[in-house]
Amino acid sequence: MENLKKKFAGKQAFINLAIIVLTYVLLTVLMSAGLLNRQYTSLLVPIAINVILAVSLNLITGFLGELSLGHAGFMSIGAYVGALITINMDAPEIVELTLALLAGGAVAAFFGFVIGMPVLRLNGDYLAIVTLGFGEIIKSVLISMKITNGAKGLQRIPLYTTYKSYTLVFILMVISILAIMNIVKSRHGRAICSIRDNSIATQSIGINVSRFKVMTFVISAFFAGIAGVLYAHNVGILKPTTFDYNKSIEILVIVVLGGMGSIRGSVIAAIILTALPELLRGADDFRMLLYAVVLIIIMLFNHSKIKEGLLNNNIFGKLFKSNEEKVGE
């Protein structure tokens, strides 16, 4: 049985690897054959950015079980730090970008630590508001600072991460996903999940809940910062208002739609929700309404009798269940 399980785990890793390689090969073939028009190619980097954002927010929302409404704030820190580095530096592209990514991630992570500290003493509802407030504070600080050029924002950021450098962005995305997946399936990840399930019991088995809450925020903020750096060098201009409440909600919608606590779900939802609005241009006003409806319906559905009914139904049950059989008395 042990062997079987190990084989299965190995198989899972193999499948993941196969998906990654296939996706990359497919992209390369399509790109070099010129089968992707500009509209599609311009989507590649934004999709990767949203994947990183969603997967890292999922660590807080899906695994730690807390709600953060300030993810766009962490992203903006990464974006500004990264952009300021590449604008003011004069070095080869790869050096500048590497430095920007590291610094953007690190500074965002530092703010994750700063935000994580008060969070320790708060429960869910307060935490959501504090993170929301944090996002707003960041925005108004960015507007009032000179170095960030105030409300006008930063311009002429070198375009290092356009669709042309999709290989680099793809690799960074894969690294981010794997890193977070690996954390989830480790002693650290188990500690994080146990806090979500029962924080008092987690304390009682000798795990320092506060430490892990902060750690989760730091890790999540780091990757949001990375996503911010990629964003800055993809669009070339930054405005404080880009990283508002709506952006945080957009990421939350991706996580909720993909399923809280499902990394694969986050990835798929990020692809769909980034591509869909672009392909359905003109319906932009309805997009936000749709997001709102998605949030409400999924929450109501998850806790409704309909889902219970489906679970007990043979055909649909198999779709949802997997590994949830009841043990006989």
Partner 1 sequence: MALLEVNNLGISFGGLRAVDNFNISIEKGQLYGLIGPNGAGKTTVFNLLTGVYPPTDGSIVLDGVNLNGKSANEICRAGIARTFQNIRLFDKLTVLDNVKTALHNQIKYSLLSSILRTPAYFKAEKAMDKKALEILKVFGLDRIHEYRASNLPYGMQRKLEIARALATNPKIILLDEPAAGMNPTETQELMDMIRFIRDNFDVAVLLIEHDMNLVLGICEQVKVLEYGRIIAEGDPIKVVNDPKVITAYLGE
Partner 2 sequence: MFNNILEQLINGLRTGSIYALIALGYTMVYGIAKMINFAHGDIIMVGAYALYVAIVLLHLPVIPAIIFTCVVCSVLGILIERIAYKPLRNAPRLAVLITAIGVSYFLQSASLLIFKATPIPFQSIINIQSINIGGVTISGITIVTLVVTTISMIALTLFINKTKAGSAMRAVSEDMGAAQLVGINVNRTITLTFAIGSFLAAVAGILYICQYQSLKPTMGALPGIKAFVAAVLGGIGSIPGAMLGGIILGIIESLSKAFISTELSDAIVFSVLVIVLLVKPSGFLGKKKNEKV
Q: Which residues bind partner 1 (CB under 8 A)?
A: 2, 179, 182-183, 185-191, 193-194, 196-198, 200-209, 215, 261, 323-327, 329
Q: Which of 102, 143, 168, 209 binds partner 2 (CB under 8 A)?
A: 143
Instruction: Please give the span between the terminal C-alpha atoms of the chain, in angstroms, as a whole number.
Output: 23
Question: Nearest approach, Cβ of 96 to partner 2 (angstroms)?
Answer: 31
* Binds partner 2 by CB under 8 A, chosen from 31, 99, 103, 122: 122
> Is the distance from CB of 174 to CB of 22 less than 8 angstroms?
no
Residue 23 CB, shortest distance to partner 1, in Å, is 21
- Which residues make beta-bridge pairs with 238? 154
Tell me which of 15, 19, 21, 300 binds partner 2, using CB under 8 A.
Answer: 300
**Counts for the chain of helices (H) and strands (E), in that order:** 14, 0
How far apart are alpha carbons 23 and 170 in whole angstroms? 10
Q: Of partner 1, partner 2, none, which one does residue 323 interact with (CB within 5 to 8 Å by kind)?
A: partner 1
- Binding of residue 110 to partner 2 (CB under 8 A): no
Of 314 and 322, CB closest to partner 1: 322
For the chain, how long is the longest CA-to-CA vector? 70
Q: Is 289 in the site for partner 2 (CB under 8 A)?
A: yes
Q: Which residues contact 230 (CB under 8 A, 6 or more apart)?
A: 45, 48, 49, 52, 101, 161, 169, 172
For residue 238, the 8-state DSSP code is B
Residue 124 binds to partner 2 (criterion: CB under 8 A): yes
Spatial separation of the C-alpha atoms in residues 319 and 108, rounded to whole Å:
38
Helix (H, G, I), strand (E, B) or coil at 170: helix
Instruction: Note whether 132 binds partner 2 by CB under 8 A.
Output: yes
156 binds, among partner 1, partner 2, none (CB under 5 to 8 A by kind): none
- 133 contacts partner 2 (rule: CB under 8 A): yes
Q: Is 141 in the site for partner 2 (CB under 8 A)?
A: yes
- CA neighbor of 195 nearest in space, from 72, 35, 2, 65: 65
Which residue in 274, 273, 270 sits closest to 52, CA to CA?
Answer: 270
Q: Which does 193 bind (CB under 5 to 8 A by kind): partner 1, partner 2, none?
A: partner 1
Which CA distances in Å does 151 have to 45, 69, 80, 246? Answer: 25, 22, 13, 18
Residue 128 touching partner 2 (CB under 8 A)? yes
The 8-class DSSP code of residue 325 comes to P
How many Å apart are CA 300 and CA 320, to the nearest integer?
16
Residue 241 interacts with partner 2 (CB under 8 A): yes or no: no
- Picked from partner 2, partner 1, none, the partner binding residue 144 (CB below 5 to 8 A depending on kind) is partner 2
Positions that interact with partner 2 (CB under 8 A): 61, 65-67, 69, 118, 121-126, 128-130, 132-134, 136-137, 140-141, 143-144, 200, 245, 249, 252, 256, 260, 285-286, 288-289, 291-296, 299-300, 302-304
